[in-house]
Structure 1
């Protein structure tokens, strides 16, 4: 386990870091799903703002 000892004799333990990897480009299905989620989320936000405006 990696640790560092400072001048006062205290130990600082560090977490084990996960391996780093490059992200793979999205395929067409993932791009479509992302667009759909953004569109539905945007519609939800606009709808909630409209409801808030009507109520107030």
Structure 2
């Protein structure tokens, strides 16, 4: 489970820090779309931390 938690945290970090690249590749130009990408990355990172520390 530790490896799965690390994977989720890494995927979330990529979503948050790579928002500019992701939004350009997927042609997302609205503020709502960009916030969805950042929010999903944040949720993935939090889920990964929960998996690491609880399981």
Q: Which has the higher helix share?
A: 2
Q: Which has the higher contact order (CA 8 A, sep 6+)?
A: 2
TM-score, reference length from structure 2:
0.45
Bigger Cα Rg: 1
TM-score by length of 1: 0.44
Name the structure where strand makes up a greater proportion of residues: 1
